[in-house]
Chains A and B, each alone.
Chain A
Amino acid sequence: AQSVTQLGSHVSVSEGALVLLRCNYSSSVPPYLFWYVQYPNQGLQLLLKYTTGATLVKGINGFEAEFKKSETSFHLTKPSAHMSDAAEYFCAVSDQAGGTSYGKLTFGQGTILTVHP
């Protein structure tokens, strides 16, 4: 069974500061990893994903994440926070597409990011 743990349900940063949202996963097979963002009263939007290849993945809005197999981690970072980054962020894991996985996602509990002026 797969699982995802997001460390910290709330993270608060100042505008211009580094954003670091932590995600650790457990999977019995090579995982596909995702970060989604949810703005208030909206659905989830894909920020970035790792499937195969380069372990440093760049996404939208200046975010990036690095897949570290030895640490079973997929932390999300952004060098300089903007007020518009305030939202809830979800890390998710999926078995590799195909087979009997059918792309099902297992989500972490979510991290609410607050950005202070």
Chain B
Amino acid sequence: NAGVTQTPKFRVLKTGQSMTLLCAQDMNHEYMYWYRQDPGMGLRLIHYSVGEGTTAKGEVPDGYNVSRLKKQNFLLGLESAAPSQTSVYFCASSHSDTQYFGPGTRLTVL
């Protein structure tokens, strides 16, 4: 039982490049979330999903897209990366009011 895993762990992009972050969970949770963590700002919700095939915007969705084609996977895409998207990205899934977090992806956009 791996819990929530994230791929990759680190990535450096140039401005304008695109990439996809993968989140996978093996706990059969319906709800999944993507957050970004910036110093002094806590975690902010980017997008979330309440089930396979559904997604919704969170607090800071601009510049990101998501997809939930399979229940266990939640993908976060950056179509044209900007330096403001330099951050640590966390994925989570939830059950019984508790969110379980992945280890994070550290993204730097130059």
A contact residues vs B (CB 8 Å cutoff): 4, 9, 32, 34, 36, 41-46, 49, 51, 90, 94, 97, 102-110
Contact = CB atoms under 8 A, between A and B. Distances in A.
B40 A9 contact: yes
A32 B44 contact: no
B74 interface: no
A9 B48 CA distance: 28
B78 to A, nearest CB: 20
A44 B90 contact: yes
- B42, B56, B104 — most chain A CB neighbours (10 Å): B42
Interface in B82-101: 90, 92, 94, 97-101
27 contacts: A36-B101, A41-B104, A42-B103, A43-B4, A43-B102, A43-B104, A44-B43, A44-B92, A44-B101, A45-B101, A46-B100, A49-B97, A51-B97, A90-B43, A97-B97, A102-B31, A102-B48, A102-B50, A102-B56, A103-B31, A103-B94, A103-B97, A103-B99, A104-B45, A107-B44, A108-B42, A110-B42
Contacts, number: 56
A90 B40 CA distance: 11
- A9, A45, A51, A105 — most chain B CB neighbours (10 Å): A105
Given A43-B104, A44-B90, A107 B97 contact: no
A109 B40 contact: yes
B7 to A, nearest CB: 14
B88 to A, nearest CB: 9
Nearest to B100: A46
A102 B102 CA distance: 19
Contact of A105 (B4, B45, B103, B104): B45
B2 interface: no
Contacts of B99: 44, 46, 103, 105
- B4, B58, B98 — most chain A CB neighbours (10 Å): B98
- A34, A44, A49 — most chain B CB neighbours (10 Å): A44
